[in-house]
C-alpha cells in the first residue's frame, strides 16, 4: 500500500473517532438530528477509505436506516436467552449480540 493511502486512512480513522465522540456528546444534549448527521459522515468515511468500524461503534448504528441507536429514545434493548437484542424504533430492524457462552 502506498504511504499516501496509509496516511489518508489514518487521518480518516482519527476523524471517525472524533465524529463518534462528538455524536456521543450530542446525544447527551438531545440533538438527534446532528447525531445522525455525524453518523452519515462516519459511514461515508469508512466506505471511502475502506475502514472497518469496531463492534463498539457498530452497536450504536442501525444497519438498515443508519440512525444512531439511543437506548430508550431511538432503540429498544432487551436481554433474551443469552443475547442482547436491539430494536431500532425508526425502521423496526433488529440486531442481536451474544453476551454469554
| 57-98: pLDDT as tens digits | 999 999 999 999 999 989 999 999 899 999 999 999 999 999
- Looking at domain 3-98, its CATH architecture is Up-down Bundle (1.20)
- Separation between Cα atoms, residue 50 and residue 53, nearest integer Å: 10
Residue ranges per structural domain of the chain: 3-98
C-alpha cell at 2: 502506498
Positive or negative, the CA dihedral 8, 13, 19, 25 is negative
- Separation between Cα atoms, residue 28 and residue 10, nearest integer Å: 28
Q: pTM of the predicted model, to two decimals?
A: 0.86
- Separation between Cα atoms, residue 84 and residue 55, nearest integer Å: 13
| 28-67: pLDDT as tens digits | 998 989 999 999 999 999 999 999 999 999 999 999 999 9
Number of H helices, E strands in the chain: 3, 3
Q: Which residue has the cell 465524529?
A: 19
Amino acid at each position: 500500500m502506498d504511504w499516501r493511502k496509509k496516511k489518508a486512512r489514518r487521518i480518516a480513522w482519527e476523524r471517525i473517532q472524533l465524529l463518534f465522540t462528538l455524536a456521543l456528546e450530542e446525544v447527551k444534549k438531545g440533538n438527534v438530528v446532528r447525531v445522525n448527521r455525524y453518523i452519515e459522515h462516519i459511514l461515508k468515511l469508512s466506505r471511502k477509505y475502506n475502514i472497518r468500524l469496531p463492534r463498539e461503534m457498530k452497536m450504536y448504528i442501525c444497519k438498515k436506516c443508519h440512525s444512531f441507536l439511543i437506548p430508550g429514545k431511538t432503540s429498544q434493548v432487551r436481554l433474551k436467552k443469552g443475547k442482547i437484542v436491539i430494536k431500532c424504533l425508526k425502521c423496526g430492524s433488529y440486531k442481536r449480540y451474544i453476551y454469554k457462552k
